[in-house]
Amino acid sequence: MATCDTDLNRPRPLSLLSVVIPARDEEGCIASTIQHLHLELSLRGVSHEIIVVDDGSTDSTWQILQAESAKIPTLRPVKNLGPHGFGRAIVCGLDSMAGDAVVIMMADESDDCRDVVRYWEKLNEGHDCVFGSRFLKHGGVIDYPPLKLALNRVANLFVRLLFRHSLNDTTNAFKAYRREVIDGVRPILSPHFNITVELPLKAIIRGFSFTTIPITWRNRRTGTAKLKIKEMGSRYLFICLYVWLEKYFSRGDYFRAG
């Protein structure tokens, strides 16, 4: 009698979470971000490494990372020695990760450490990706500048209509992926904040599974925002159209196998 090996359909168990945090001139908040994240993950029993990528800081960010690494054994400071940019810093961190899953997180404590644990739990249920949304029921934003909020909602509506998917917070950087997703969306093209849409859109159109959960976002309390809206509009549009062309014209050449 023929039997079916159900193990083939089971998701690969995860053992180590990498958290990649790009940082540029974040001396006012990087220490507390790392400390709170490490404490939360340790209390919840999540085996982890924290990779903070210094992306050409001109303040004391690197010195603070060195000092914190002497106290937090799971912290791995990395310098992006190549061309700088938010996307390039993230790729530098992804290239350095040892984990079998990754969460990309901001350095300014705008993302909630408790949501990192929720991401990990959802990945362990078998999802390839976990996308947080600030605009689902039970999600929320605190001190979001009104103009940025309005532009955010317009941009996300445009992406939803273009790709016909259910995700309503594509532009949010704070997301989680299994390692095979990161390998499966390469090459990663975006050197700047447009990486925040490239990664999830490629994951979706290349056939990786995802789930969405509500998350909370708080505007930074120290330092200055690195995202410059005037500079990013054309870059977001470029990467959206690039991935859209793949979706409709690549004939599935990049679709996930198996």
Which range is least confidently modeled, 12-16, 71-75, 182-186?
Answer: 12-16
Across the chain, mean pLDDT equals 91
Q: What is the pLDDT of residue 2?
A: 37
| pTM for the structure as a whole | 0.91
Task: Write out the CATH class of domain 14-248.
Answer: alpha beta
Residue-wise pLDDT for 222-252, tens only, equals 766 655 555 668 899 999 999 999 999 998 8
Interhelix angle 113-124/30-43, rounded to 10 degrees, is 40
Give the C-alpha distances (Å, rounded to integers) separating 226 from 26, 63, 75, 83, 231: 10, 20, 23, 16, 11
Strand partners, 153: none
Phi-psi region of 130 (alpha: psi -120 to 50; beta: other; left: phi over 0): beta
Phi-psi region of 165 (alpha: psi -120 to 50; beta: other; left: phi over 0): beta
